[in-house]
C-alpha cells in the first residue's frame, strides 16, 4: 500500500506548494492571510496523515493543538488587518 | 476496509489540492477566500474520516478534530472576509457594493 501513501502525500504536498506560492506573491496583505489560513488547514491534515503513517495516536493531539493555535492566529491577523485602513 | 480508507484519503487529498490551486489561481481576494476555505474544509473532513476508518480506536479524537474544524473554519473565513473588505482589498470590476453605507461612513470624504 506504499503507492497509495505516496499518492496522498503528493496531493497534499502540491496543495501546500500552491498555498505557499500565493503566500509569497500575494498582492495585498489580505491575500497573504488567506493563503496562510489555507496552509494551516492543509498542515493539520498532513499531521493527521503522519499519525496514520507512523501508527501513533500522539500526532492527533498535536493536530488538536495546532487547530486551536491556527484559529487564534487567523483571528488575530484579521483583527490587525481591520484596524489598518488603507487608501481607498 | 483498508481500500475504503485509502479511497477516502485520496479524495481528501484531491480536495486539498483543489483548495491550494484555487488559492493560487483565483483572480481576487474574495474568490480566494471561497476556494481556500470551503474546499479545504471538505478535504479535512474526508481525510480524517478515512484515517478513522483505518483505525477505529482513534474515532473519539478524530470526532473532536472534525467538530473543532466545523466550528472554527467558517468563523475564520467570515472574519477574514470582513477584514479584507475593511482593508480595501476590493476587486477592480466590482459591480455592486451594499456594505458601503454600512461600513464606509467615515471614508466618504476620502473618495
List CB contacts (< 8 A) between B73 and chain A: 41
Domain layout of chain B by residue ranges: 2-89
Which residues of chain B have a CB within 8 Å of the CB of A4?
A: 6, 9-10
pLDDT of residue B108: 47
Residue B111 has pLDDT above 50, yes or no: no
ipTM of the complex: 0.89
- For residue B22, CA distances in Å to A15, A35, A58, B11 come to 10, 10, 32, 16
Handedness of CA A77, A81, A83, A84 (dihedral sign): positive
Band of pLDDT at residue B7, cut at 50, 70 and 90? very high
**What CATH code is assigned to A2-82?**
1.10.287
Average pLDDT over residues B30-54: 91
- Interface contact B76-A22, CB threshold 8 A: no
Between A16, A33, A57, which is nearest B58 by CB?
Answer: A57
Q: What are phi and psi of B87, to 5 degrees?
A: -95, 20
Say what the pLDDT of residue B110 is.
Answer: 44
**Torsion over CA of A50, B54, A56 and A4, rounded to 10 degrees?**
-30
With CB atoms and an 8 Å threshold, state whether A18 touches B55.
no
Nearest C-alpha of chain B: how many angstroms from A56?
A: 10
Note the pLDDT of residue B109. Answer: 43
Chain A residues with CB inside 8 Å of B33's CB? 34
- Which residue's entry shows cell 473543532? B68
Average pLDDT of chain B to the nearest whole number: 86
What is the arithmetic mean of pLDDT over A39-45?
93
Cell 475504503, residue located: B4
- B46-58: average pLDDT: 92
Read off the pLDDT of residues B79-95 as tens digits, 9 standing for 90 and up.
998 888 888 777 778 88
Q: What pTM value is reported for the model?
A: 0.88
At residue A56, the 3 state secondary structure works out as: coil
Looking at beta carbons, which residues of chain A come within 8 Å of B103? none
E strand or H helix at A65: helix A58-82
Computed from CA positions of residues B83, B87, B92, B98, in that sequence, does the dihedral angle turn out positive or negative? positive
In this prediction, residues B66-70 reach a mean pLDDT of 93
Q: Is the pLDDT of residue A71 over 70?
A: yes
Amino acid at each position: 500500500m506504499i503507492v497509495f501513501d505516496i499518492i496522498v502525500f503528493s496531493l497534499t504536498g502540491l496543495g501546500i506548494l500552491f498555498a505557499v506560492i500565493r503566500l509569497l506573491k500575494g498582492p495585498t496583505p489580505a491575500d497573504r492571510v488567506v493563503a496562510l489560513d489555507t496552509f494551516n488547514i492543509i498542515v493539520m491534515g498532513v499531521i493527521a496523515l503522519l499519525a496514520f503513517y507512523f501508527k501513533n495516536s500522539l500526532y492527533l493531539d498535536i493536530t488538536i493543538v495546532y487547530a486551536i493555535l491556527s484559529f487564534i492566529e487567523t483571528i488575530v491577523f484579521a483583527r490587525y488587518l481591520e484596524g489598518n485602513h488603507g487608501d481607498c | 476496509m483498508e481500500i475504503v480508507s485509502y479511497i477516502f484519503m485520496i479524495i481528501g487529498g484531491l480536495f486539498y489540492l483543489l483548495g491550494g490551486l484555487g488559492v493560487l489561481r483565483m483572480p481576487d481576494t474574495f474568490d480566494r477566500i471561497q476556494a481556500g476555505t470551503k474546499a479545504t474544509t471538505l478535504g479535512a473532513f474526508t481525510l480524517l474520516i478515512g484515517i478513522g476508518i483505518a483505525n477505529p480506536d482513534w474515532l473519539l479524537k478524530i470526532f473532536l478534530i472534525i467538530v473543532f474544524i466545523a466550528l472554527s473554519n467558517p468563523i475564520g473565513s467570515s472574519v477574514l472576509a470582513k477584514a479584507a473588505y475593511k482593508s480595501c482589498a476590493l476587486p477592480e470590476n466590482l459591480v455592486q457594493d451594499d456594505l458601503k453605507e454600512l461600513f464606509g461612513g467615515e471614508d466618504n470624504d476620502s473618495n
